[in-house]
Amino acid sequence: MKSSLYIFSTRWEAHDLFRKLLTIEEAKQVLERSFSPKPVGVEHVHLSEALDRVLAEDVVAAMDVPPFDRATVDGYAVIATDTFGADEDRPVILKLCGHVSVGELPSVVVEKGTAAEIATGAPLPGGADAVMMMEYSVQQGDDLLIYSPVSRGENVMKAGSDIHRGETVLKRGQMPSSREVGMLAALGLTKVNVYTRPKVAIVSTGAEIVEPGKPLPPGKIYDTNAYSLSAAVLECGGEPILLGTVPDEADQLRAALNKALILADIIVTSGGVSVGPTDIIPRVLNELGKPGVLVCGIASKPGKPTTIAIVEGKPVFSLPGHPTSSLFMFYLFARPVIYSMAGRREESPLMLRAVAAAKMFPARGRRTFVTVNLTRNKSGRLLASPVPLGLSGAITTLARADGFIEIPESQQFINAGDEVMVRLFKPTPYVALLTE
Amino acid sequence: MKSSLYIFSTRWEAHDLFRKLLTIEEAKQVLERSFSPKPVGVEHVHLSEALDRVLAEDVVAAMDVPPFDRATVDGYAVIATDTFGADEDRPVILKLCGHVSVGELPSVVVEKGTAAEIATGAPLPGGADAVMMMEYSVQQGDDLLIYSPVSRGENVMKAGSDIHRGETVLKRGQMPSSREVGMLAALGLTKVNVYTRPKVAIVSTGAEIVEPGKPLPPGKIYDTNAYSLSAAVLECGGEPILLGTVPDEADQLRAALNKALILADIIVTSGGVSVGPTDIIPRVLNELGKPGVLVCGIASKPGKPTTIAIVEGKPVFSLPGHPTSSLFMFYLFARPVIYSMAGRREESPLMLRAVAAAKMFPARGRRTFVTVNLTRNKSGRLLASPVPLGLSGAITTLARADGFIEIPESQQFINAGDEVMVRLFKPTPYVALLTE
């Protein structure tokens, strides 16, 4: 048996070599040489729609925030030096000269020996350079008894101390969260320039697939990829355009791709790319325009039958039909391109160190991604167990996994007990408490 | 000076005691006793809109996935026992009995000694129990020479092995990502029941605030809270309703709150809650309905002047006017309530261990949150430095911080060099590589 397995695996390798499988990095390099992903456009959106959009330009403050010196407490606007020496036993006595309300220009000027009542947020009146907290003073008629000194600038928020005019408050490429949206509002802005979401056409191919919602004839399956890829496009900041399903037939595929090239900036297909250079999808892609197919097959598991092309200056990712493979290859190849075209910066991956719960073998000569679940063993160590049913044909594999392990092409195996790095799909309860 | 500071601080404490400041936990308990947040409704959405919505019911599979035994490779459907004993030198010879394409019901039955050509994804024909990979066999006329045995079930994905009928594939409360959306599609579903987004009315109060986009008269500032809180509501899965700004005046405030109670499930106001029980907001809230104000002032920094009420069975969060305080108190009190009413589960916080870069003092008797930035020192340790300008009046504090440190009421200070836990606002580059 051993000798025949050896013979067969060399036949298999020869078959692979014939198909010139590129490594993941080689495939990315080939793509990068032919296509530089850039944002596709800029649009104005209202501040209330700015959340999680991508800023298309730096935001430079056209005004100071606050626009004037503001009292930060309720109290009395004073000249700080007037209060020096005041203490509980020997209060300083100042004359009340008026009142400053919030939202009004002060009508008083604080002169030496005087104080003006002031509300939190009101503009500091001329002459004053500090605010005495109400709690440290007592008002007796027109006299104000002060029991504690204040220093210059105390309880005053200086004009421009939060944001100064001319300052770059947000950078191109930032995605405003609730914390940043307030900064835009503070500057009085209601419109911001954000990058247009790149349009991503999604085409499913295959004679066996049926759109969800329709009756399912025997021998057919529902199209899962169109919707999972559409959701994945939204997650990347793109706008999905669902173009439905087409059979593995050149004319219909050509028509669908032509429509996609008109409507979208990026095209993603799934299915129909299984057997190599004579496949219908690579052939049609090559006919549609130059340079055509750049990558036809990748030394990756899952995802070997992946084709990448550039047609009319637009990237086309033809992913396998298997749901897990197609979504995984989308994450690996299409996602970074959509991110760049959406103007987004790549996020830091969430990684956790764990221990392999079982021996794991990579596919011969291919970068292998093993989806895993995390559990904690009795001694508190984090265990990474391969997800059962980890077939590339399975729909549930990715949904049931916490993340994945990457096994290099050169590695023979990962032993049970070996330390592994798990890349998480999203924060899990295990990220609750992290140590550097 | 020291003695007078002591005297004043006890006066200050007495003032605080008079206001019966509750701790954060006490305030949460008081709220929980009067109000149990529940989802506000259920709506049907199309699968293409299911991303990041909250499932309102368990999704139970009404069918097997795959619906039939499928070939997972291109090859030949065989009876496994027929191939036993085959090797490179002594191939087993089977008779070709037909072909099975994808998307079709097989018209052939595989009998002992025969094999049917089969494409990836096609239904396994009757009689066959395994698929021989094309690469391990050679076709000669009607004969198929098989050079390797296959075991029963090999290269076959059994009906229901991915999802079996009756299985709960997604749970109520889950938020489908791209990985889960595909599972719904695989079951042929086009509509899912999700929780309605709770409506959150946002009212800004204050004589000094002006809506962004309008000219700014002297002494006024732009309303930042309405937009940052609106974005924060979106982040929680709520639907913000911006009701604009009202002056600190009872009739107008009452009118705005009455409108809010009609339109929304939750009300958030900011500003106008600075000086205690005689404040206009608590007074108006108490007039509007029972039980009225539950919490008036919290022993927290920032956020002391926070009022929480229940009116007509709806929670009202009256937050401070200071942008940092209001957003922080929103995160602390309103966010968990909106989460529950949106049907969401609370996320695991992202925490990182770091070293305090400077001495930090809590506000006397109050839980203190210090916003910090993370940097790495020369020896590679993560340093948490308080964000400069960490005033509650500042708009930029939260946007410029990576996260915050919580200092308990009882703690005197945190020393430079002490280990601290930083709660992150979002994943930072420092989370790139984590160790348990």
A104 touches chain B (CB under 8 A): yes
Given a cut of 50, whether residue A2 has pLDDT beyond it is: no
Together in a domain, B383 and B272: no
Together in a domain, B321 and B363: no
Confidence category of residue B272, pLDDT binned at 50, 70, 90: confident
d(CA A382, CA B78): 43
Residue percentage of chain A with pLDDT more than 90: 72
Helices (H) and strands (E) in chain A, counts: 10, 26
Mean pLDDT within B209-234: 95
The structure tokens listed for A119 are 């509300």
* Contact assignment for B182 to A120 by CB distance below 8 Å: no
pLDDT of residue A347: 77
Residue percentage of chain B with pLDDT more than 70: 90
> E-assigned strands of A357-399?
367-376, 382-386
Q: Which of B178, B321, B434 sits opposite A351 (nearest CB)?
A: B434
What DSSP line would sit under B359-370, residue for residue?
A: -B-PPTTSEEEE
Residues of A within 8 A of B3 (CB-CB) are 88
* Contact assignment for B348 to A429 by CB distance below 8 Å: yes
Of the residues A341, A374, A394, which one is the last residue of a structural domain?
Answer: A341
Of the residues B288, B308, B341, which one is the last residue of a structural domain?
Answer: B341
Model confidence pLDDT, tens digit, residues A361-370: 888 889 999 9
Together in a domain, B58 and B191: yes
pLDDT of residue A395: 82
CA torsion angle B8 B13 B18 B23 (round to 10)? 160
Residues of A within 8 A of B436 (CB-CB) are 352-354, 381-382, 430, 434-435
In a domain, A373, yes or no: yes
Q: Which of A48, A101, A182 sits opposite B225 (nearest CB)?
A: A182
pLDDT of residue A425: 85
A46 touches chain B (CB under 8 A): no
d(CA A324, CA A331): 11
Model confidence pLDDT, tens digit, residues A372-422: 998 888 888 889 999 865 565 688 888 889 899 999 988 999 999 999 999
Together in a domain, B215 and B310: yes
Together in a domain, A314 and A422: no
Model confidence pLDDT, tens digit, residues B16-49: 444 568 999 999 999 999 999 999 999 999 999 9
The structure's pTM equals 0.90
Mean pLDDT within A132-160: 94
pLDDT of residue B19: 55
pLDDT of residue B11: 38
Together in a domain, B168 and B142: no
Between residues 182 and 201 of chain B, which touch chain A (CB distance below 8 Å)?
A: 182-190
Together in a domain, A313 and A228: yes
pLDDT of residue B390: 55
In a domain, A306, yes or no: yes
pLDDT of residue A15: 43
* Contact assignment for B352 to A436 by CB distance below 8 Å: yes
What DSSP line would sit under B380-422, residue for residue?
A: S-EEEEEPTT--TT-SHHHHH-SEEEEE-TT---B-TT-EEEE
Among B65, B68, B102, B235, the residue to mutate for chain A (most A Cβ within 10 A)? B102
Together in a domain, A258 and A169: no
Beta strands B209-210 and A266-270 are unpaired
pLDDT of residue A388: 67
Of the residues B169, B195, B221, which one is the last residue of a structural domain?
Answer: B195
In chain A, the number of structural domains is: 4
Model confidence pLDDT, tens digit, residues A87-117: 989 999 999 999 999 888 999 999 999 999 9
Of A426 and A309, more confident: A309
Residue A83's identity, in one-letter code, is: T
Beta strands A239-246 and A199-205 are parallel
Among A171, A228, A248, A329, the residue to mutate for chain B (most B Cβ within 10 A)? A228
A380 Cα to chain B: minimum distance (Å):
10
> Residue A217: helix, strand or coil by DSSP?
coil
Contact A186, B323 (CB under 8 A): yes
A108 touches chain B (CB under 8 A): no
Residues of B within 8 A of A63 (CB-CB) are 216
d(CA A330, CA A326): 6
In a domain, A10, yes or no: no
Model confidence pLDDT, tens digit, residues B72-125: 888 999 999 999 999 989 999 999 999 999 888 999 999 999 999 999 889 999
Among B181, B205, B239, B242, the residue to mutate for chain A (most A Cβ within 10 A)? B181
pLDDT of residue B427: 67
In a domain, A13, yes or no: no
B296 Cα to chain A: minimum distance (Å):
18
In a domain, A9, yes or no: no
In a domain, B77, yes or no: yes
* DSSP at B47: G
Of B3 and B369, more confident: B369
Residue A217, sorted as left (phi over 0), alpha (psi -120 to 50) or beta, turns out to be: beta
Among chain A residues, the shortest Cα distance to B66 is held by A221
Among chain B residues, the shortest Cα distance to A188 is held by B212
pLDDT of residue B377: 83
Together in a domain, B378 and B395: yes
B216 touches chain A (CB under 8 A): yes
Together in a domain, A145 and A184: no
pLDDT of residue A400: 85
B163 Cα to chain A: minimum distance (Å):
7
Q: What's chain B's Rg over C-alpha atoms?
A: 32
pLDDT of residue A398: 86
Given a cut of 90, whether residue B7 has pLDDT beyond it is: no
In a domain, A206, yes or no: yes
Between residues 277 and 306 of chain A, which touch chain B (CB distance below 8 Å)?
A: none
Q: Which residues contact B410 (CB under 8 A, 6 or more apart)?
A: none
In a domain, B7, yes or no: no
Mean pLDDT within A336-358: 90
> Residue A147: helix, strand or coil by DSSP?
coil
Model confidence pLDDT, tens digit, residues A283-333: 999 999 999 999 999 999 999 889 999 999 999 999 998 898 999 999 999
B290 Cα to chain A: minimum distance (Å):
30
Tokens 């009404």 belong to B62
Instruction: Tell me the residue range of the domain where B47 lies.
Output: 43-65+161-195
Together in a domain, A302 and A372: no
B319 touches chain A (CB under 8 A): no
Q: A67-71, A290-294, A343-347: which has the minimum mean pLDDT?
A: A343-347
Measured in Å, how far apart are chain A's first and last C-alpha atoms? Answer: 49
Q: Which residues contact A49 (CB under 8 A, 6 or more apart)?
A: none
Given a cut of 60, whether residue A431 has pLDDT beyond it is: no
User: What CATH number did the domain enclosing A77 receive?
Assistant: 2.170.190.11
Together in a domain, B316 and B229: yes
pLDDT of residue A237: 96
Of B393 and A349, more confident: A349
> Residue B100: helix, strand or coil by DSSP?
strand
